[in-house]
Chain A
Amino acid sequence: EPEVTQTPSHQVTQMGQEVILRCVPISNHLYFYWYRQILGQKVEFLVSFYNNEISEKSEIFDDQFSVERPDGSNFTLKIRSTKLEDSAMYFCASGQPGQGETQYFGPGTRLLVL
């Protein structure tokens, strides 16, 4: 059964550095999402992406964040200048037309900003 994959599984970075989190969605899915979960808190929506553009973003998704689908298979989340409070688990998800809001999640990338 196809699954969403994410790399790396863990990332440690220094404050102010740029990080790129990578996701490979399920191949015939057209809707892509990023969520994050700060330790001990809720899973929070960051951004949705469809037809090569952002369809919705949350207040968290400020100018430091960007998403891209560079090659038709990968879906990336970039944080330009990381802050301590960006430390969280980041989940990618994808969905297919006709299945409504059923989203399939990746295993997550744990980001630690020091």
Chain B
Amino acid sequence: AQRVTQPEKLLSVFKGAPVELKCNYSYSGSPELFWYVQYSRQRLQLLLRHISRESIKGFTADLNKGETSFHLKKPFAQEEDSAMYYCALAPSYGGYNKLIFGAGTRLAVHP
């Protein structure tokens, strides 16, 4: 079964603290993994995708195929990082594939 699990509904940290939002997936093939972010009253937007190996807004995520994980990390959280974060999986490379989303984790960064 294709599934994305985000075990934490809410992650609450203080500004400047490290952040790790967990994501585990279940898929038998080679998926493409994404992190989408939704700031308050805004649309879902792509934060990063694993094949790009980019760091966006200080966030990074490494695909660990052995642990089937794609955790999102940032060394020093900022208040503007407060948002809903969704991990998503596309079942295969290329084309017009659906995204399978996790339940999301709300990140709250306090001053």
Contact = CB atoms under 8 A, between A and B. Distances in A.
A joins B in a complex: yes
Contacts of B101: 35, 42-44
Contact of B96 (A31, A41, A43, A105): A31
Q: How large is the interface on A (under 10, 10 to 19, 20 to 34, 35 or more residues)?
A: 20 to 34
A92 to B, nearest CB: 10
B61 to A, nearest CB: 15
A33 B90 CA distance: 13
Interface stretch (A10-18, A69-77, A95-103): A95-103
Interface string A84-114: 0000000100010000111111111000000
Chief secondary structure at chain B's binding surface = loop
Contacts of A103: 46, 99
Contacts, number: 64
A51 B44 CA distance: 25
Nearest to B45: A105
Interface of B: 32, 34, 36, 42-46, 49, 51, 86, 90, 93-104
Interface of A: 3-4, 31, 33, 35, 41-45, 48, 50, 55-56, 58, 91, 95, 100-108
